[in-house]
Amino acid sequence: MTGTLITVAPTGAESSKADVPALPVTLEELVVTAKECEALGASVIHVHIRDDEARPTLDLGRLRATVAALRDTSDLIVQLSSGGAVTDPEADRLAVLDADPDMASCTMGTVNFGDDVFMNRWEFVVELHTRMRDRGIVPEYEIFDLGHLTALQRLLDKHGLPAGGHVHVDLVMGVPGGMPGTTEALVACRQAMRDLPEGTTFSATGIGRSTVPVMLASLSTGGHLRVGMEDTITYAKGRPVESNMQLVARAVGFAQLAQRPPLTPAQARALLGVPG
Ligand code: KMH
Ligand code: ZN
């Protein structure tokens, strides 16, 4: 069994700085977070950015500056979110790829998202997958529900393997409207992944109170971990998360207990097929 890939998703698009003061929203805050999370054991950073008022944005100039700053100051694999916020138009989400990240997310279907809808039409998913392959950007396929794995199988059958040839999925569990953050749901996904190309890897993240159960289920079934304030703002009952580092440190502790210590960024690149 290999070590553990730890992805940190420090910001997201849903929490506000007013409600969550520890959320990194400026480039400076993001860079400090990246360096500290890398030192603890993270190897991938899943990035959403904010504007000067701390609102989610897909501004291309800011995205390019963010990719450059993260590359200058860390060895982390830089994965930009192409999901953005639920209000972002498809054209802006596709344009994220123009910032030339190492990786980008690619969500495999539409899902209710709390009171909103996170739209991912089939034609849009195909366009994202195809553009990423044409540009050598490695996708992380975001799976919010079991059927998204069937959609991924169809995508790969019809449109071929991604850049790098390796398939990596991330199970985003416990979103109101998506699959629950339970061991049973994770095991169902694990079984469905048998129909994907040999060597497919997965990470998992549980939103809110499903964070810890999903981490344990993922580690015990050979999966990797995504943690961060995009998904988790309460550390334990009555205890707000103090920082992304606190969440990465807990994930590292669990990974070590599972005898699967964190992968370095170089090892993560080799696993995911991301060029060095
Ligand atoms: N913010 C969500 C609507 C992704 O980054 O690709 C979408 C999301 C998934 O976070
Ligand atoms: Zn995201």
Q: How far is the CA of 81 from the centre of ligand 1 (A)?
A: 6
Strand pairing class (116-118; 111-113) = antiparallel
The protein residue whose alpha carbon is closest to atom 9 in ligand 1 is: 83
In the numeric block, which tokens belong to residue 56? Answer: 């989610």
pLDDT tens, position by position, 7-66: 999 999 999 999 999 999 999 999 999 999 999 999 999 999 999 999 999 999 999 999
**What percentage of the chain carries pLDDT values higher than 90?**
99
3-class SS at 168?
A: strand
Structure ipTM:
0.99
User: 107 CB less than 6 Å from ligand 1?
Assistant: yes
Type of residue at 1: M
Could you identify the atom of ligand 1 that is nearest to the CA of residue 48?
A: 5
Q: Structural domains in the chain? A: 6-272 (3.20.20.70)
Say whether pLDDT at 1 is over 60.
no
Could you tell which of 142, 173, 232 is best to mutate to test the pocket of ligand 1, judged by most ligand atoms within 8 Å of the CB? 142
- Residue partners of 110: CB distance under 8 A and separation at least 6: 117, 118, 119, 120, 121
User: Could you say which DSSP state residue 121 is in?
Assistant: -
Res. 2 pLDDT band, cuts 50 70 90: confident
Q: Is 86 in the pocket of ligand 1 (CB under 6 A)?
A: yes
- DSSP secondary structure letters along 53-79: TS-EE--HHHHHHHHHHHHHH---EEE
Q: Among the atoms of ligand 1, which is closest to the Cα of residue 84?
A: 1
Q: Is the CB of 118 under 6 A from ligand 1?
A: yes
